[in-house]
């Protein structure tokens, strides 16, 4: 049994890791542009299953009504929530050979009512991630990356935040809780600050872009991804909209991380 691990984590997070991209950190010139847009959803909003929290009464007690899965959340205005929109570095010549300062702010992943908040989170490689809990039950946070280091740590009630980071870009990293099989979040890690997650209005803004050619990807955990190319001139603001539809669900590309397939019971303790 170990406790007091948070101190170690804090020490670890202060290590300076080398930037993923060689070259000097980009300095804004005043010519930067902006890309804005929205992500629409076409067709009827799919019905989400109701999550059963019977396995842990502490979780259930925090909710006064049914809690729905967040695999596909369609907003009242017909847009799609929880879409990770970001600049694809490998196909965006405007970012070639440029590196960007890592935000000094921490990204936060909260656990409240045995649900992750937010459901989709973006941050930069090397940026500090604080994992918080507001629950009176033990969580076990378990990101399952492909190219970053996998970790798996329990967080008892009243714990200090876990301080973590991911060293490499990776879109997306599923996060689950080994105690509560319905808990699921996705973390998008990029090595630049040009990313956003759509909220209740389905809109996104990517600011401070060096003028040039970009490929923007909109990634949804269930509906897959879409890309669009756009050229941003000096001080220009461009609009890029994406549309997903219900019949795109279950396409092979999203099979590997379909939250609906998380089994209610798996026999492990
Ligand atoms: Cu949990």
In this predicted model, what pLDDT tens digit does every residue of 29-51 receive, in sequence order?
999 999 999 999 999 999 999 99
- The pLDDT assigned to 11 comes to 41
- Percentage of the chain modeled with pLDDT above 90: 80
Cα(139) to ligand 1 centroid in Å equals 4
Query: Picking from 7-16, 148-157, 204-213, which range would have the lowest pLDDT averaged per residue?
Result: 7-16
pLDDT at 181 over 60: yes
Reduce the DSSP state of residue 113 to 3 states and report it.
coil
Q: For residue 183, how far is its CA from the centre of ligand 1 (angstroms)?
A: 6
Residue 104 has pLDDT above 60, yes or no: yes
Query: What does the pLDDT read at residue 131?
Result: 98
pLDDT class of 17 with cuts at 50, 70, 90: very low
CA of 116 from ligand 1 middle (Å) equals 9
Compute the average pLDDT of residues 208-237. Answer: 97
Q: Cα of 97 to ligand 1 centre, how many Å? A: 40
* Distance between Cα 178 and ligand 1 center (Å): 7
The 10 Å Cβ neighbour count of residue 146 is 11
Is 80 exceeded by the pLDDT of residue 81? Answer: yes
Report how far ligand 1's centroid is from the alpha carbon of 122 (Å): 20
- The residues placing their C-beta within 5 Å of ligand 1, an ion, are 139, 177, 179-180, 183
Q: Which residue has the higher pLDDT, 64 or 268?
A: 64
In 107-211, the DSSP E strands lie at 107-111, 116-117, 120-124, 129-133, 139-143, 153-155, 162-164, 170-177, 184-190, 195-197, 203-209
pTM to 2 decimals? Answer: 0.84
What is the arithmetic mean of pLDDT over 160-182?
97
Beta-carbon contacts of residue 65 (< 8 Å; ≥ 6 apart): none
Q: What are the tens digits of pLDDT across the range 198-212?
A: 999 999 999 999 999
pLDDT of 67 > 50? The answer is: yes
């Amino acid at each position: 049994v170990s406790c007091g691990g948070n101190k170690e984590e804090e020490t670890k997070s202060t290590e300076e890791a080398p930037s993923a991209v060689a070259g000097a950190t980009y300095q804004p010139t005043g010519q930067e542009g902006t890309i804005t847009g929205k992500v629409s959803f076409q067709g009827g909003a799919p019905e989400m299953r109701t999550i059963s929290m019977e396995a842990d009464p502490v979780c259930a007690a925090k909710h006064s009504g049914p809690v729905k899965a967040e695999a596909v959340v369609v907003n009242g205005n017909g847009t799609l929530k929880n879409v990770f929109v970001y600049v694809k570095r490998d196909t965006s010549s405007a970012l070639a050979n440029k590196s960007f300062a890592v935000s000094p702010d921490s990204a936060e992943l909260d656990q409240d009512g045995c649900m992750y908040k937010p459901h989709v989170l973006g941050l930069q490689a090397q940026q500090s991630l604080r994992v918080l809990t507001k629950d009176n039950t033990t969580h076990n946070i378990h990101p399952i990356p492909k190219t970053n280091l996998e970790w798996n740590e329990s967080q008892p009630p009243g714990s200090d935040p876990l301080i973590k980071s991911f060293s490499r870009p990776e879109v997306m990293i599923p996060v689950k809780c080994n105690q509560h099989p319905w808990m699921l979040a996705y973390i998008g890690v990029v090595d630049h600050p040009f990313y956003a997650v759509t909220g209740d209005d389905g809109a996104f803004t990517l600011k401070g872009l060096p003028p040039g050619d970009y490929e923007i990807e909109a990634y949804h955990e269930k509906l897959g991804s879409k890309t669009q190319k756009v050229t941003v001139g000096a001080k220009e603001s461009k609009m890029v909209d994406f549309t997903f539809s219900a019949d795109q669900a279950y396409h092979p590309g999203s099979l590997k991380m379909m939250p609906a397939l998380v089994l209610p019971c798996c026999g492990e303790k």
